[in-house]
Amino acid sequence: MSDQHSTESSGVGAVVDLGFRTAYKVAHRMLRAYWKVRKPNTHGALIAVWHDGKVLLVKNSYRNHYTLPGGYVRSHETATAAAQRELAEEVSMRVPLDRLQEVYARVHEFENRHDKVTIVEVDVEDDDTPRFAVDNREVVWAGFETPEAVLQRPIVPHLAEYLEERKQRLQT
């Protein structure tokens, strides 16, 4: 399996996928307008899946930035459990909760909100190449890339900060 994956539907499936991508874009724009007025406090969890020195990166259909798989932390769950759930939802990859380690937690002003971001990571070096899939609706691309390649892309600010901190942590 390659380090990158995107899918293209054909026929009716392509039309349905386009409808979903359009709905995600409209919903995200509406949220951004709401955030501009309300300036809410939000809490998101991201998961950094590492394999052979590369990290799993995703591109959402509704955002210009690349990021790690992740999403909102629900009121009844921990950030680690949210990251595990989002990984399964976004790229159909499952990892045991006990293998996840929280490594980053910061608040950023991002998209007109006070966004608390928690990043957990898992190293799957001992496993075969991890299998993942994108739905071509919310996530339109996913792939394993080196930190240097990730930093060349348009990425969310907390991802750049996390990658720099991880580099420093591994050097000590």
Q: What is the pLDDT of residues 70-93, one digit of tens each?
A: 998 999 999 999 999 999 999 999
Is-contact 119 3, C-beta < 8 A? no
The pLDDT of residue 2 is: 42
How many domains are contained in the chain?
1
* Position with higher pLDDT, 165 vs 125: 165
For the chain, percent of residues with pLDDT exceeding 90 = 56
Could you tell me the pLDDT band of residue 3, with boundaries at 50, 70 and 90? low
How crowded is the C-beta side of 156, counted as CA atoms within 13 Å?
Answer: 23
Q: State which residues form the domain around 136.
A: 4-171
> What pairs with residue 17 in β-bridges?
none
The pLDDT of residue 6 is: 58
Query: Is a pLDDT exceeding 90 seen at residue 36?
Result: no
Could you tell me the pLDDT band of residue 130, with boundaries at 50, 70 and 90? confident
Q: How many CB atoms lie within 10 A of CB 44?
A: 23
What is the CATH number for 19?
Answer: 3.90.79.10
- Report which listed range, 19-23, 45-49, 104-108, 109-113, is most confident: 45-49
How crowded is the C-beta side of 91, counted as CA atoms within 13 Å?
Answer: 31
